[in-house]
């Protein structure tokens, strides 16, 4: 699958690939890219079923990592730093398992290698509510973004979260509203999105390059007990916490995150 991407930074500098999370797109990471562009040649990718990349009924980390392999090949990328947030972090981990020879260093932002689907966690419940709410909006009768926000507010209290989700709403060539997200595929494959490394794979070490996990201090996506699993799979992993930050670290503490990325990759 040919993925949409944005490119910035300086050619000849270390290459950095950035993968967004669920409901996101390359657009969400432009502000971070501006903080990094003097140090890297940066590729911001829209993963399948998101942003301007193609839609597909198939939606697994195996497919997402294969998409990324094709992207590397088409753009002659080797030995790049791979950064992924949330779902993008899962893609990055699966890619690192399949194609470790292509990675110079790995950065995983606020996600663990575990399967979240069977945990019945607050995070999972929130995602289910988001998907159900987005699907409940009748786009054929939608008159404005303000109306969409009002309908989202019935189930989603956070103004910031609603604003983030509404970045995926746009008008098509006929002037009708539509989601850039493939919501039907996300809903049908949510168990795949929540998937992780199976316990038997936790004995397989992924090594040969530096690895950094960055956790939001207020986020529950990486728990204390997850750190043992992380270091089993990635023996070289460093785990770094940014205090007073939730799951969307790049939006809440962009400067702190950018500084850590630069110091980690270039040290």
Q: What angle do CA 178, 184, 188 make, to 5 degrees?
A: 165
pLDDT tens across the length of the chain (267 residues): 999 999 999 999 999 999 999 999 999 999 999 999 999 999 999 999 999 999 999 999 999 999 999 999 999 998 999 999 999 999 999 999 999 999 999 999 999 999 887 656 666 667 888 999 999 999 999 999 999 999 999 999 989 889 999 999 999 988 899 999 999 999 999 999 998 988 777 788 999 999 999 999 999 999 999 999 999 999 999 999 999 999 999 999 999 999 999 999 998
pTM for the whole structure: 0.95
170 phi, psi to nearest 5 deg: -145, 170
Provide the CATH topology of domain 5-116+197-266: Rossmann fold (3.40.50)
CA 194 to chain centre: 12
What tokens were used for 175?
Answer: 């002037």
> What DSSP string runs through 108-128?
EES--SS--GGGT-HHHHHHH
Could you confirm whether 86 is annotated as catalytic? Answer: yes
* Gyration radius (Cα) of the chain, Å: 18
Task: State the catalytic residue, choosing from 86, 105, 185, 219.
Answer: 86
- Which DSSP state fits 174? T
**Contact indicator for 261, 36 with CB cutoff of 8 Å:** yes
- What are the structural domain ranges in the chain? 5-116+197-266, 119-190
Instruction: Please identify which of the residues 20, 50, 127, 247 carries the catalytic annotation.
Output: 247
């Amino acid at each position: 699958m040919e993925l949409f991407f944005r490119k910035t930074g300086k050619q000849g500098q270390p290459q950095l690939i950035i993968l967004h999370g669920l409901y996101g797109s390359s657009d969400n990471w432009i502000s971070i890219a501006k903080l990094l562009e003097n140090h890297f040649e940066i590729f911001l990718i829209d993963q399948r079923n998101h942003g301007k990349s193609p839609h597909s009924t198939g939606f697994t980390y195996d497919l997402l990592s294969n998409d990324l392999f094709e992207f590397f090949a088409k753009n002659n990328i080797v030995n790049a730093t791979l950064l992924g947030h949330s779902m993008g972090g899962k893609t990055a981990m699966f890619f690192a398992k399949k194609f470790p020879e292509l990675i110079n260093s790995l950065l995983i932002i606020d996600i663990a290698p575990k399967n979240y689907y069977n945990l019945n966690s607050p995070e999972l419940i929130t995602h289910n509510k988001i998907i159900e709410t987005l699907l409940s909006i009748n786009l054929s009768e939608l008159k404005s973004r303000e109306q969409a926000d009002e309908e989202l507010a019935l189930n989603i209290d956070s103004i910031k979260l609603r604003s983030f989700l509404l970045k995926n709403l746009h008008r098509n060539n006929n002037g009708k509203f539509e989601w850039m997200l493939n919501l039907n595929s996300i809903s049908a494959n949510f168990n795949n999105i929540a998937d992780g490394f199976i316990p038997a794979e936790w004995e397989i070490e992924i090594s040969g390059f530096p690895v950094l996990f960055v956790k939001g201090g207020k986020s529950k996506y990486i728990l204390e007990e997850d750190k043992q699993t992380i270091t089993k799979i990635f023996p070289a992993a460093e785990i770094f916490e940014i205090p007073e930050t939730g799951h969307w670290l790049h939006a809440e503490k962009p400067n702190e995150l950018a500084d850590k990325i630069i110091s980690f990759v270039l040290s």
